[in-house]
């Protein structure tokens, strides 16, 4: 069963002063009337509407001025929220409007209803974020929120290009190629290539350069006749034995 009442105070989600609303009879009887938040809708009580409207206008003007000054002060602040995150910077969980309201109270002693902190979705990344504040129907502002990790975050190592192998040295992990005399190399398809002779050492090349060039067989000079051997001298005759 519903009953109609006149609100004497601002009730979030229900109405403000001088508003005529319908509520459950038990809710009005057990809560609104005892707390003096509403009065029954009667001819006698209707006379109070003008006074309630005046009170409402004064309250809203005061709230407007207060929230205008508050939004100017809040726009210069940076609310710091520390969360748990992994070494790669990935957060465990998210930052909600309730957490931001708690930090505003703890850091700056500013009491702000979390419903006035407008978040399209919870914050799930580290860094600075700018969020909207709906402090009043005609007063809106922004607040900077910096989300930091409780544990140090390691920056990813910069990718570096592989160093070129030093000239004259084989690349790491590869065995140097060796050329052997008498062995044929094989190309990439496995077919035999021409034999590659091992180059002669510099000592042999130098020694070969000092030798006289060979002359053709037909042009060789005749050998000089050998000198005659000296005739053997006759043996001296032995003296005759004397008797």
CATH number at residue 114: 3.10.430.100
Share of the chain above pLDDT 90, in %: 37
Tell me: do 89 and 43 sit in the same domain.
Answer: no
CATH number at residue 15: 3.40.5.10
pLDDT at 222: 55
Please name which of 203, 78, 79, 68 lies closest in space to residue 139, comparing C-alpha atoms.
68
If one counts every other C-beta atom within 10 angstroms of the C-beta of residue 6, the result is 20
Average pLDDT value for residue range 140-148:
93
Kindly report the backbone phi and psi dihedral angles of residue 114, in degrees, each rounded to the nearest multiple of 5, phi listed first. Answer: -60, -20
CA 191 to chain centre: 50
Where is the domain boundary, 149, 179, 205? 149
pLDDT, tens digit, 9 for 90 and up, residues 78-129: 999 999 988 888 888 899 999 999 999 999 999 989 999 998 889 999 999 9
Tell me: do 39 and 82 sit in the same domain.
Answer: no
Residue 164 predicted with pLDDT over 70: no
pLDDT at 205: 47
Tell me: do 41 and 75 sit in the same domain.
Answer: no
H or E stretch covering 5: strand 2-7
Where is the domain boundary, 87, 119, 149? 149
Average pLDDT value for residue range 2-18:
89
Domain residues for the domain of 8 are 2-47
Give the mean pLDDT of the chain: 76
pLDDT at 98: 93
Tell me: do 83 and 137 sit in the same domain.
Answer: yes
Query: For 182, left (φ over 0), alpha (ψ -120 to 50), or beta?
Result: left
pLDDT at 234: 47
Where is the domain boundary, 88, 120, 149? 149
pLDDT at 198: 53
Average pLDDT value for residue range 50-72:
91
Average pLDDT value for residue range 12-21:
88
Q: Provide the H-helix boundaries in the chain.
A: 25-27, 43-46, 49-74, 97-108, 202-210
Residue 211 predicted with pLDDT over 70: no
pLDDT band (50, 70, 90) for residue 31:
very high
Token pair of 61, please? 């003007």
Tell me: do 80 and 133 sit in the same domain.
Answer: yes
pLDDT at 173: 53
| 85 domain-assigned | yes
Tell me: do 36 and 96 sit in the same domain.
Answer: no
Average pLDDT value for residue range 211-223:
53
pLDDT at 243: 43
DSSP string, 177-207: P---TT-EEE-TTS-EEEE-PPPPPHHHHHH
pLDDT at 50: 85
pLDDT at 33: 92
Residues contacting 96, CB < 8 A, separation 6+: 114, 119, 122
Total structural domains within the chain: 2
Q: How far apart are CA 68 and CA 60, in angstroms?
A: 12
Cβ pair 78, 42 in contact under 8 A: no
């Amino acid at each position: 069963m519903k009953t109609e009442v006149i609100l004497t105070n601002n009730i979030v989600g229900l109405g403000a002063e001088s508003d005529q609303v319908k509520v459950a009879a038990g809710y009005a009887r057990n809560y609104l009337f005892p707390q003096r938040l509403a009065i029954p809708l009667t001819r006698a009580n209707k006379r109070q509407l003008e006074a309630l409207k005046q009170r409402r206008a004064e309250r809203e003007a005061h709230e407007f001025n207060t929230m205008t000054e508050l939004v100017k002060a809040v726009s210069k602040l940076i609310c710091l929220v520390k969360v748990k995150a992994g070494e790669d910077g990935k957060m465990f969980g998210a930052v909600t409007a309730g957490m931001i309201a708690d930090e505003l109270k703890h850091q700056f002693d500013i009491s702000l209803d979390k419903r006035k902190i407008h978040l399209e979705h919870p914050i799930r990344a580290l860094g600075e974020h700018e969020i909207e504040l709906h402090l009043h129907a005609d007063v809106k502002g922004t607040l900077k929120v910096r989300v930091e990790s409780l544990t140090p975050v390691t920056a990813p190592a910069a990718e570096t290009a592989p160093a070129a192998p030093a000239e004259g040295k084989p690349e790491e992990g590869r065995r140097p190629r060796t050329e052997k005399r008498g062995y044929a190399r094989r190309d990439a398809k496995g077919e035999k290539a021409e034999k590659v002779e091992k180059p002669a050492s510099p000592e042999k090349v130098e020694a070969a350069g000092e030798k006289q060039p060979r002359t053709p067989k037909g042009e060789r000079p005749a050998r000089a006749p050998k000198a005659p051997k000296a005739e053997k001298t006759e043996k001296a005759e032995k003296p005759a034995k004397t008797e």
